[in-house]
Structure formats: C-alpha cells, structure tokens
Chain A
Amino acid sequence: MRMVSAAETAPTTHPWAVHAEGLRVRAGRHLAVDGLDLALGTGVHGLLGPNGAGKTTLMRALATVLAPAGGKLSLLGESVDGRADLRRIRRGLGYLPQQFGFYPRFTVREFVEYMAWLKEMPKAAVPGAVQRAIERVGLADRAGKRMKTLSGGMLRRAGIAQAIVNDPEVLLLDEPTVGLDPEQRLDFRELLRDLGVDSCVLVSTHLVEDVVAACTDVVMVNEGRLVYQGTPDDLIARGGTGDAGDSPAERGYSALLRRHRAEAGR
C-alpha cells in the first residue's frame, strides 16, 4: 500500500502516452526505424517483429536514449526533439534495455536504490518504493545478494524492478522474458497485466505466446515500419491453416509478415 498523490489522480491532457508520426531513428548509419506511425495509450502493448526489424532502436528512441533523426515523437504529451526538456519526461519513464549492464559489486537493493536516485525520486520515498519494486518481481529474498551472484533470470527481474521503481507512466521493456523459467514467465504476465491497468507498457518480445497471454494490444513492426496494430484476438483471426506456426497466434503472425513482405516486394 502507498499514498496516492493528487498529481497521480489528475486527468491527463494528452490523448496518447506515446505518439510517433513518421518517426525515423538511426542505429549507426542505418535507418533502423523509417517512417513509423504509432499511437499507444494505457494498457500492455506487445511489440513483435523479426530480428533487425528495428524493435530495439525504437525502444531506445522511446526511452529518449537515442535522438530521432526525423519525424515527430511525443511522450506523455511533450515533444521529444533536440531542445526538449527531457528531465520531466524521463521522470515518468521506466526502461529495461535489451543488454542491460550493471555494477557487479552492487547488491540488488543498492542497484535499485541507485536507479531510484538517478530517477530523481524524493529521498523519503526511495526505501519504500525500492522494497515494493523488489517484492513485485519476487526478489525479496535476494535483495541483499550481490548482482554478480545472480542467475540470468534473476538479473532480468532485478532489471524489471529498477524499471518499475518510480511507478512510470510509460514503461518500456526490451525482451524482459529472456532467461525466465516457465513459472516466472507466468508471474511476469500477471505483473504485466497489473502494470497495464494504469500505465502504458510496451513489451518487445519474440514469444508470440507471451503477447497473446498478457497484452491488450499487438504492435508489429518490420523493416522500421508499422505492419499491424490490433488486439491479440484479431491477430489470431488473421492466421489461416496454411500459414507457418504451431499455434493460432503464430499462424496469424506469419500470415501478417508474409503479406507485408509481399506488398513491400511489389
């Protein structure tokens, strides 16, 4: 339990938490995101796409780590460009990068505390928020362990804990289920549904099953462009018996991808 401040219950003045129009982002010299239109509101959005589709670059741009090379991007109603006041936007962001580095000598609690400090949380709120975040990812019994002694799945969960410690309005998780065992993945889906009630969560993943189970919305990108945005049920309905895949959702995924490639090839 925690206190809910007046700022949290105030109505938002922006229609979308994440709004991109013709967004272009460079990864090195290559335009990894090229003319992407995207509007995301409250809920859990699953980001699907083949390798090299620009998912990670898009995530980095949304996390304000990379500057857009063109197009419009606004987060929480504020435009993100060269001159934007990134501090205010970043206070409302949570981000778990795909390759997430950490300081091996830190304990889990110190790591999450340090990130809470970097996110400019009020000093008095930090210990409680850190404990809550660690409990939500199920690492309470490991809070005093050093990061270097953790397994891959636990590290991933520590990463999720730092991302949610400031109760972000926009939460970006890049491949959060890598290294989690089946039981932890079920717990994680539960956590996702919980987080998506009042914030905008974007989860990048390769596992179509995770998207269907935990997401309210499917976003599919290929070659830096938006291919499809719709509900998981609609994704399932797109698949025919002739499409590749072991589950209805996978068949829907491959059907959409095939159609997009055919259109692009023409």
Chain B
Amino acid sequence: MTGHPSPSAITRYAAGDAGLDEATVWSVEVHLEECADCRARLAGSTPDDVLALLERVGNGVDQGIAAGPDPVRRRRRWSPARHRWLVWQLAPWLTMTATVLVCAVLLQSLRPSLPSLVLLLAPVAPLPGVAVAWSRGADPAWELIAGTPAAGLPLLLRRTATVLAVIVPVLGLATDRTGESLALALLPCLAFTTAAIALGALVGVRRAVIGLATGWGLLMALPALLTAHLPALLRPGSLGVWALITVVSAVFALTRADRFSRLTPRS
C-alpha cells in the first residue's frame, strides 16, 4: 500500500459522496479493513445524520433482541447409536447370537457332560454380523454407499469392529460363567473374523461366511458333539495356531484391500 487515504477522501467516503469515483471507494474500503487508525478517523468524520441513523438502528435491534424470544438452542442429537444404520440393521442378528450363547451357557450348566458349547460356538459367533455388515441384500442404500469414496476395506473394518464390540463382551461373560479360558474363545473368534474378510476378498464376504460356518459345523462342532470330546484345536496348546491364522489372514486382507472398493454382486 502507498499509504493512508487522505482525510478528505475518508470524509467524503463516510458521507457517501456520489462524486467519489469507484476506484477510490474500493481502495478506501480495502485500506479500512486493515487499518485501525483510519477506522477511528472514519468514525470521527461521520456526519451527524448518519450517526443518528446508526443510533436509531442500534436501538431498534437492541429492543428487538430484548422483546423477542430467546434464540432456540439447536439440539444436536448426534448419538452414534441413532446415526449408524448398522446398529439398527445388526440388532436382530446380534440379539440372536447373544441368545444362542446364553442358551449354550444354560445347556452346559444342565448337562455338564457335554463338550464346551461356548467354545464350539465362539469361532462362528461374529460371522452373521460380518455378513450383514458387507452385503448388498442387507444394506438398503448399498448402491449409494458403493459409489462413495469411503466404501472399501476401511468401512468394512469399521462395521466389523461394531460387531466385535458386542460379541466380545458376550463371549467374555459366557466364558466367565462356564469357567473356560477366555483366550480360547476370543482368539478363534478373531481368527474366523479376519479369515472371513480375507476369503471375502476372493469370493465375497457373504459366501466366505457361509463357507466358514458350514465347514466349522461339519468338521469340528458335529464330531465334537458326537464323540463328546473337544477337538484338539480348542485345547490350550493350539492358541498359537489361531494367532497364526489371525495374522496371516489379516495381512492377506490388507494386501487385497482394493478388492473391496466395489460392492460387487459377489460381495
């Protein structure tokens, strides 16, 4: 800037002089925004009739504020529970899973001779929720969501985390009741979740879930119920195997993250 506008220019600007050319008006305005001294000069050189008008307007606004209703406080009812469709969509599935686990605990207390039902159910407990979290059929707005930048592995993981946040405490309570090792319930649960996502990258999450649940039921749970012995995989010595499955499938899913960017019919 070359300097302050001349006092006469400020006076004419304050009076709204029509003879002042536009270029001068603009330069005065730009200067006034930055210079407190000139703003003070502007206030000093304002004509009386403008001051009277300003005072009248100011009084009117004050009266309006005093007489009018109080400003309505905008209620932000931003609760995660209300705002995530998933909570509503998942509620029936998670309730079902929790009920099945409670039944398993009750059955076990009635028939202690059975192999641990809670441990047999723990791996497949999160699977219904995971399937609902990433399927065309369950999400009414799938087509809208599939076209957004957020769609992809991060969104699937976010939804899976919601599922685990419910299933893990339920499993914790169930194992606490029946006296089994918590690690033997949680690690298989986690391993099956990551395996479902990893396989989901290849064949779609829903198919992966159906395959895993069927496989576990036929190969592990049914023989265990028939022979009344827990399979070797659910004994304390096999924790390392479960940890390995978890890590390997999680890494595999991360390397195939781009397969989730489209919610294809296979998903």
- Which one of A44-52, A115-123, A134-142, A207-215 is at the interface? A115-123
What does DSSP make chain A's interface, helix, strand, loop or mixed? loop
Complex formed: what's the CA distance from A106 to B82 in Å? 8
Chain A proximity of B57: nearest CB distance (Å)? 23
B side interface size, CB within 8 A: 25
A residues less than 8 Å from B149 (CB atoms): 86-88, 90-91, 118-120
| Docked CA distance A86–B145 (Å) | 13
CB proximity of B236 to chain A, nearest CB, Å? 43
- Chain B stretch 235-267: residues in CB contact (< 8 A) with chain A: 258, 261-265
Report A-chain residues with C-beta under 8 Å of the C-beta of B141. 100-103
Which of B152, B155, B261 has its CB near the most chain A CB atoms (within 10 A)? B261
B66 at the A interface (CB under 8 A): no
Contact indicator per residue, chain B 130-152, by CB within 8 Å of chain A (1) or not (0): 00000000011111111111111
Residues A101 and B150 in contact, CB atoms below 8 Å apart: no
A60 and B149 CA atoms in complex are apart in Å by 15
Distance A65 CA – B263 CA, assembled complex (angstroms): 7
Distance in Å from the Cβ of B96 to the closest Cβ of chain A? Answer: 21
Given contacts A100-B143, A101-B142, contact A106 B85 (CB under 8 A): yes
The CA of A119 and the CA of B151, in the complex, are separated in Å by: 9
C-alpha spacing A66/B142, complex, angstroms: 12
Cβ-closest chain A residue relative to B89: A103
Is there contact, CB below 8 Å, between A65 and B140?
A: no
- For the complex, count residues of A whose C-beta is within 8 A of B: 32
Kindly provide the distance from the CB of B266 to the nearest chain A CB, expressed in whole angstroms.
11
Within 8 Å CB of B261, what residues of A?
A: 86-87
Which B residues are in CB contact (< 8 Å) with A150?
Answer: none
| Residue in contact with A118 in the complex, picked from B88, B148, B258, B265, CB distance below 8 Å | B148
Residues of A within 8 A of B264 (CB): 66-67
Known A91-B149, A118-B151: A99·B83 in contact at CB below 8 Å: no
Q: How far is the CA of A66 from the CA of B143 in the complex (A)?
A: 10
- A–B pairs, 7, beta carbons within 8 Å: A65-B146, A88-B149, A100-B143, A105-B82, A114-B85, A119-B149, A119-B150
- Closest 9 A-B residue pairs measured CB to CB? A101-B140, A118-B148, A90-B149, A97-B143, A87-B149, A63-B147, A103-B85, A118-B150, A95-B147
Q: A83-B258, A88-B149, A119-B149 are in contact. List 16 more A-B contacts (CB 8 A).
A: A65-B263, A66-B264, A82-B258, A87-B149, A90-B148, A99-B143, A101-B140, A102-B144, A105-B85, A105-B88, A110-B82, A110-B83, A114-B85, A118-B151, A120-B150, A162-B144
